[in-house]
Amino acid sequence: MTENRVFPLFSLPYLALNDVIISLDVLSRMNLSICSKRSKRISCAYTIPELQLSLILCEDSKSIIEVIVTDQREDVDVPLVEHVWNMIPTDIKEDFGKVIEISKLEWEFYHDPSVNLTGILCNRLLEFYGWSSWEEVVFQKNIEQSDFDKFPVLLPSAGTISFDKEQVTRAELDTLFMKHGNIQLINLDCRYPEGYGMWCARTVGFFRAPQNIEDILKMDCEKVDCTLSGYKNSDVNRFLKHWLQSTNCGNHKYLKREIRLCNVENDSNMLEDLPVTPWNPKQRGQFFHFRNPHFDAAIDCSKGFDLLRDDGVLATFISDEDEFIFNIWNERFPDIPKEDFPPNSVFY
């Protein structure tokens, strides 16, 4: 005998919660939030522990909004989910407002070019998740003054600036640093003008380092990270000698803390003619406080070599295979939280 099962009407609220909110469907959650004040309160109540918001500015006024969400709690098994919204301006009036679902996680939004739909959705996402700024802006196009006119709040508040193109010009960098005074991280995986002197960001990340290693000292930043430096031990030795003769620039916004160079060729003795000393516990602490946007860690510098400048600034450098690590002790005995020590954080 066939059994007739009644649809569980009273479970509809749970089904909506499960399919829309707990599933981390960003677009559906936003749509649910604008239905009513109560639906907005419910949809916002379930927080997402990990959320990354990125804006990619493309050629022809196109842009891409990427929302990456993940839940890493032990009792919830939700994989990383990346939502992609392609914002496409069109002159065809019949296509205004058209939304095409490419997949469950990717959509195309066609809109009137006179309407800044990208800015509207970006601001709505920030409001919905209670964020004050965008995490990353990626330039596939040339940087222009009009970009900051179009996104007067969004661009100057973005923490990370990256480039997905072959090169960036001096004029583009001038515009960027004049309009954005609080860059936390700038990633340069492209060609850039040699000898550029206006770098101003908390962290500067190079895929390929400047040709002249001395240029690193001129940068206004806390941290420099080079993936493929192409330097030799003799270059690093010259850099350390220049550092010993330098002073903290009074017109710089940041004090340098960390310099990390990878792919350093061993062509000579890096310590040649340098007044290095082993760790003295009376001069500095054993652990340096490494900090970046992703994690913090207490770095054991007990086996490093120390250099003391005439102005009293102390630094420790560590050479490990083809990597050069240079930590500057602006605080000789930093107060480091317990959670940043091994085994919670292990760096080297």
pLDDT, position 262: 95
* DSSP classification of residue 244: H
- What confidence tens digit (pLDDT) does each residue in 134-156 have? 889 999 999 999 999 999 888 98
Cis peptide before 281 (omega within 30 of 0): no
Alpha-carbon distance 65 to 83, whole Å?
Answer: 8
- pLDDT at residue 161 greater than cutoff 60: yes
pLDDT, position 292: 74
- What confidence tens digit (pLDDT) does each residue in 302-345 have? 999 999 999 999 999 998 889 999 999 999 999 998 888 876 55
Alpha-carbon distance 7 to 5, whole Å?
Answer: 6
Cα 73–Cα 77–Cα 82 angle in degrees, nearest 5: 95
Of the pLDDT bands very low, low, confident and very high (cuts 50, 70, 90), residue 104 is confident
- Amino acid making up residue 206: F
- pLDDT at residue 62 greater than cutoff 90: yes
Looking at the 3D structure of the chain, how many domains does it have? 1
| pLDDT (mean) for 158-185 | 93
Of the pLDDT bands very low, low, confident and very high (cuts 50, 70, 90), residue 66 is very high
From the list 233, 247, 221, 251, the residue with the least C-alpha distance to 324 is 233
pLDDT, position 134: 84
**Residue at token pair 């891409």:** 64
Residues 6+ away with beta carbon under 8 Å from 21: 29, 32, 42, 43, 46
CB 86 within 8 A of CB 58: no
- What confidence tens digit (pLDDT) does each residue in 283-298 have? 999 999 988 766 788 9
| Coil/strand/helix, residue 78 | strand
Look at residue 183 and tell me if it is in a domain: no
CB 299 within 8 A of CB 290: yes
Look at residue 26 and tell me if it is in a domain: yes
* Whole-number Cα distances in Å, 150 to 139, 140, 160: 14, 16, 18
- pLDDT at residue 346 greater than cutoff 70: no
- pLDDT at residue 41 greater than cutoff 70: no
For the chain, the straight-line distance linking the first and the last C-alpha, in angstroms and rounded, comes to 69
Alpha-carbon distance 145 to 54, whole Å?
Answer: 20
Who has greater pLDDT, 44 or 255? 255
- What confidence tens digit (pLDDT) does each residue in 109-127 have? 999 999 999 999 888 888 7
- What confidence tens digit (pLDDT) does each residue in 217-237 have? 989 999 999 998 999 999 999
pLDDT, position 316: 97
Of the pLDDT bands very low, low, confident and very high (cuts 50, 70, 90), residue 7 is very low
**Domain enclosing residue 27, as ranges:** 9-46
pLDDT, position 6: 46
pLDDT, position 245: 94
Alpha-carbon distance 123 to 130, whole Å?
Answer: 10
Cα 222–Cα 326–Cα 318 angle in degrees, nearest 5: 155
Look at residue 32 and tell me if it is in a domain: yes
pLDDT, position 283: 96
pLDDT, position 9: 44
pLDDT, position 109: 94
For residues 127-164, one letter each, b for 16 or more C-beta atoms within 10 angstroms of the residue's C-beta and e for the rest, the string is ebbeeeebbbbbbebebeeebbebbeebbebbebbbbe
Look at residue 346 and tell me if it is in a domain: no
Of the pLDDT bands very low, low, confident and very high (cuts 50, 70, 90), residue 84 is very high
Length of the chain: 348
Query: Six-digit token pair at 246?
Result: 């330098």
- pLDDT at residue 38 greater than cutoff 60: yes
Who has greater pLDDT, 343 or 130? 130
What is the secondary structure of 105-137 as a DSSP string? TEEEEEE-TTS-HHHHHHHHHHHHHT-SS-SEE
Residues 6+ away with beta carbon under 8 Å from 37: none
Of the pLDDT bands very low, low, confident and very high (cuts 50, 70, 90), residue 193 is very high
DSSP H helical ranges for the chain: 12-16, 26-33, 37-45, 117-129, 145-150, 154-157, 170-179, 215-218, 233-245
Query: Six-digit token pair at 134?
Result: 């965008």
pLDDT, position 232: 94
The values of phi and psi at residue 127, to 5°, are -65, -40
Alpha-carbon distance 191 to 302, whole Å?
Answer: 37
pLDDT, position 296: 83
Look at residue 293 and tell me if it is in a domain: no
Alpha-carbon distance 89 to 298, whole Å?
Answer: 48
From the list 218, 309, 223, 307, the residue with the least C-alpha distance to 261 is 223
- pLDDT at residue 128 greater than cutoff 80: no
